[in-house]
Amino acid sequence: MKTVIIRDDDTHAFTSSALLDKIYGPSFFRRGFNVSVSVIPMLDTSARIGSKNNSFYRRGYEYEPFIPKSRINSGFHDFRKNSAVSVWLKKKSVEPCLHGYSHDIRDFSSPNYTKMKEMLARGKSIVEGATKRKVRVFVPPHERLSKSGWRAVADSGFRIFRNVIRPLKDAVVSVPLGEYGLSHVRGNFLYGYNGLVQYKSNKELGTMNPYLFSCFWDLKQSFEDACKKFDSSHVFIMANHHWEFLINTKMHRYWSDFVDYMAQHDFASMTASEAFAKLKPVNA
């Protein structure tokens, strides 16, 4: 049986519950799918795109593309204002995760352990207060996580759901060297892991190339590639940006077709926390 883990990123104070419900509606849940939703607790509306190589920057976006244009540079916005999405996140098959703090690229890439611990505590309090759900999983914003950030996350009791786990790079940038053991010395150490990775004091979940659909891509080709990845994966992990469905509404059709395709197979869908509890580490 195939394991399916789906994550959606960047839910925030202005996210539309109607949009989430259109992407992950009754049919999605009725077929047995779950989704883990990464929530930005205190959105910084002055957050700019971090790299000029970013495809959105090249298309004229200066600020994060999910910030409503009328709200750019309007300060920080608390997720607790979004009562509709807070209610939506209470669904049985939905798990809220913590997605950084403000979504600034520097939030968890700094050496300031104490400040990051404080942001984790505040962010967790905001999301748990809004949803009345336990938040156990941390999703690094922009895939930026320093070694001090990794330690702060682990010491705060979070599991880590990464986009890409590249151990050779992570040993230099993100994961403290003391977390590695002989179990990590294998071929995947050079090329990356797909699934659950066990460290000495924590676990990470991740995959190579998690985003399979994007608003600027050839969606027919994206659908075909997603089907191939699904077929070839024993543990299938993917992520969406719900806000991209607003930029290109054709994504709804191809996403619906892909959900239909997955539903034709024998699978077990898990939230991130369920995966951390049930999956066997790839380096076991």
Residues 144 and 105: beta-carbon distance below 8 Å? yes
Q: What's the CA gap between 122 and 4, in Å, rounded?
A: 31
Give the type of residue at 60: G
Q: Looking at the domain assignment, is residue 97 inside a domain?
A: yes
How many folded domains does the chain comprise? Answer: 1
Q: Looking at the domain assignment, is residue 284 inside a domain?
A: no
Distance of CA 156 to the CA centre of its chain: 18
Q: Which domain holds residue 209?
A: 2-278
Give the DSSP per-residue string, 182-239: GGG-STHHHH-B-EEEE-SS-EEEE-SS-B---TTS-HHHHHHHHHHHHHH-SEEEEE
Q: What is the CATH number of the domain that holds 85?
A: 3.20.20.370
Give the type of residue at 258: F
Q: What's the CA gap between 228 and 234, in Å, rounded?
A: 12
pLDDT of the residue at 169? 86
Question: How far lies 228's CA from each of 161, 232, 235, 259, in Å?
Answer: 23, 6, 13, 14
Bridge pairing between strands 203-206 and 35-39? unpaired
Q: Looking at the domain assignment, is residue 283 inside a domain?
A: no
Q: Looking at the domain assignment, is residue 261 inside a domain?
A: yes
Q: Looking at the domain assignment, is residue 171 inside a domain?
A: yes
pLDDT tens for 180-206 read 988 877 666 667 788 999 999 999 999
List of the chain residues with pLDDT < 70: 50, 186-190
Token pair listed for 179: 């977390």
pLDDT tens for 133-168 read 999 999 999 999 999 999 999 999 999 999 888 888
Q: What's the CA gap between 249 and 245, in Å, rounded?
A: 5
φ, ψ of residue 225 in degrees (nearest 5): -65, -40
